[in-house]
Amino acid sequence: MFEFLSERAQDILQRTFGAQVSDVQWVYADQKGFGDCSTSIALQLAKKLNRKPTEIAEKLAEKLRGSAGVERVEVAGAGYVNVWLTPAALLAELHVTEKACTPQPVRKEEGPVIIDYSQPNIAKPLGVHHILSTVIGQCLCNLHRHLGTAVVGWNYIGDWGTQFGKLATAWEKWGKGKPVEKHTLDELLELYVRFHAEAEKNPALEDEARAAFLKLEKGDRKLRSFWEGVVRATKASLGAIYERLHVHFDTDIGESFYEDKMQSILEEGKKKQVFVKGEEGALVVLFEEESKLPPFLVQKGDGATLYATRDLAQIRYRIDTFHPQAILYVVDVAQQLYFRQLFAAAKRLDWELPQLEHVVFGRMRFAEKAMSTRKGTALKLEHVLDEAVTRAKEVIAEHRDSIQTDDEVALAEMMGTGALVYGILSQNRRMDLVFDWKKVLALEGNSAPYLQYTHARARSVLRKAGAKDETLPKDTSSLTASERVLFSVLLGFPEVLQEACTHRMPHMLANYLYRLCQAFNAFYNVEPILKASKDLRSLRLSLTSLTATVLKTGAELLTLRVPERM
Ligand code: ARG
């Protein structure tokens, strides 16, 4: 951004202070009174040049004044230089934003980023909490791809473990001879819940379940085909929900895949003396005192492997197969310690590792209801999605006079699911989330319906103008206050995409889109667009068109959809 200003500033600093600066960063300022963009270069150079930051800033400002494209310059605070650009220069910069709306070609020379997300344990329906990892992960996939990074989106399903022994036992006993594949996920869940209830009265069931899982591990034909049936049934039903959320994976290789890939890791770890004998013949990794990490269990005394063992085997497999530059694990805060241990253990094995990162998120609860049913089972995601759509229908009905649509069913689906997803992604993921239906479905405020409504409003202006691809005018002598604000918010888009991606923070993008909606609506409410004189009309239509494109691009990166009409 603002390349011409960077070059100009570099030149000035070189001539005035003899300072060699390779890159003067201008960040766009979207707050009133700070100009269109601002640099802190004076603060950065102060020590090196042995001068006061304000002195450097003043000199820089003085020389920038009168430069082509510059309307006004001010020094602020401890030594910031704020610049107001001329309308012509702003117009030229808008092309950068326009370009940022199309995906960049993928950079094939660097390895992909693997994003591990959603990861449900199968054989039960998705609970509402699953939506967090699912949409945060999908948004991060979208952002990386859009910015030209190759991505492997990975649904690491929990399709292995002792729970399958329990389920098989329950199915044998109470499944009434019905084939697995004929069971709905709810029925499978019921069997599982029943197992736990009965096992409390009859602990011998636990032994039976353990034996069943052991048989499954050894490859028992009947149990194997039972397990395959469960996996197939689950995947089919998950697919429908993912579709509704616009979520797509590149692979869903799950835990079972690593069954035959753990032994070699265990051998390697023992040989390198990273895995050592712990209590009762177990294998553990012990970390240095300073790390404060507790021992990490990789094999139980009876030889059984664990979640951790599979994750280690998986890191090895991912490195060998994909040569990734990074692996992001989008998993809730409950596993924070676990991932610290996992990454530390992988490092101890002396593997050449990609960047390993736990993209952590907090817990979610509803303002007005519990996250689980009275029976103690989790609230189902499917039901919550349906509730969102029902509530969206009510909002549409309430605003019949202002909302126009030719497809109410589609709009309600888009608004309802969008409200749920946006309600999550617009919050800082590190914080716990209190989910409030009223807030997320409001037509005003930082919500999906507001975003969708604003997009539809912009599109409606463009339809009425009959304008196709309005091209930006080359020049304009002045800008009104609301035009200028809209301009500078639009200018910020490329940088926001980059920031949201590098910090893995979808809410930075969501909050930006909200600011853009506000700036657009403020502009729309005061400036005539269709009735303006020819030049103004053309300028305002291009601002409107670019706003619509940015809103749509941004919304889709957040996994939302926006309507043409509303
Ligand atoms: N299925 C796991 C769970 O529900 C989450 C998996 C996270 N990913 C990973 N590679 N460990 O707890």
- Residues 6 or more apart whose Cβ sits within 8 Å of residue 29: 35, 36, 37, 38, 82, 488
Look up the pTM and report it: 0.91
Residues with Cβ within 8 Å of residue 387, at least 6 apart in sequence = none
CATH class of the domain comprising 381-557? mainly alpha
- The answer to whether 328 and 376 have CB atoms below 8 angstroms apart is no
Pick the CATH number of 2-85 from 3.40.50.2300, 2.170.120.20, 3.30.1360.70, 3.40.50.300: 3.30.1360.70
Ligand 1 atom with the shortest distance to the CA of 121:
1
Q: Residue 370 C-alpha to ligand 1 middle, in angstroms?
A: 24
Could you give the 3-state DSSP secondary structure of residue 13? helix
Ligand 1 atom closest to Cα of residue 335: 12
Q: Over the stretch 259-286, which tens digit does the pLDDT of each residue have?
A: 999 999 999 999 999 999 998 999 999 9
* Nearest residue to 546 via CA among 44, 96, 79, 29: 96
Atom number of ligand 1 nearest to Cα 307: 11
- The answer to whether the beta carbons of residues 83 and 70 sit under 8 Å apart is yes
Average pLDDT rounded to a whole number, residues 238-253: 96
Instruction: Tell me the pLDDT band of 303, cut-offs 50, 70 and 90.
Output: confident
For 131-190, what is each residue's pLDDT tens digit? 999 999 999 999 999 999 999 999 999 999 888 999 999 999 998 888 888 888 889 989
The pLDDT of residue 468 is 60
Q: Label residue 473 by pLDDT band (50, 70, 90).
A: low
Tokens (6 digits) for 101 = 């709306």
Residues 534-549: tens digit of each pLDDT = 888 888 999 999 999 9
* Number of residues in the chain: 566
Cα 338 to middle of ligand 1, angstroms: 11
Task: Evaluate the CA torsion angle 507, 513, 517, 523 in order and state its sign.
Answer: positive
pLDDT at 215 over 70: yes
| Range 265-291 burial, b when 16+ CB lie within 10 A, else e | bbebbeeeebbeebeeebbbbebeeee
Q: What is the pLDDT of residues 103-127, one digit of tens each?
A: 999 999 999 999 999 999 988 889 9
Query: What are the structural domain ranges in the chain?
Result: 2-85, 161-248, 381-557
Tokens matching residue 376:
């103690």
Q: Please, what is the average pLDDT of the chain?
A: 93
Per-residue pLDDT tens digits for 407-438: 999 999 999 999 999 999 999 999 999 999 99
Is 470 strand, coil or helix? coil
Measured in Å, residue 15 CA sits from the centre of ligand 1 at 57
Running DSSP on this structure, what letter comes out for residue 158?
Answer: B
Ligand 1 centroid, distance to 156 Cα (angstroms): 7
Q: Ligand 1, from 117, 335, 336, 341: best to mutate by most atoms within 8 Å of Cβ?
A: 335
Confidence of residue 481 (pLDDT cuts 50, 70, 90): confident
Q: Please, which residues have CB within 8 angstroms of residue 114's CB and are 6 or more apart in sequence? A: 151, 152, 154, 318, 322, 324, 326, 327, 328
Q: Is residue 7 classed exposed, middle or buried when 0-12, 13-18 and 19+ CB atoms within 10 A define those classes?
A: exposed
How many angstroms separate the Cα of 531 from the Cα of each of 161, 280, 308, 528, 538? Answer: 67, 83, 66, 6, 11
Is the Cβ–Cβ distance between 80 and 58 less than 8 Å? no
Distance CA 381, CA 389 (A): 12
Calpha distance 421→447 (Å, rounded): 10
> What are 327-384's pLDDT values in tens digits?
999 999 999 999 999 999 999 999 999 999 999 999 999 887 777 766 666 789 999 9
| Region of poorest pLDDT, from 23-27, 33-37, 442-446, 518-522 | 33-37
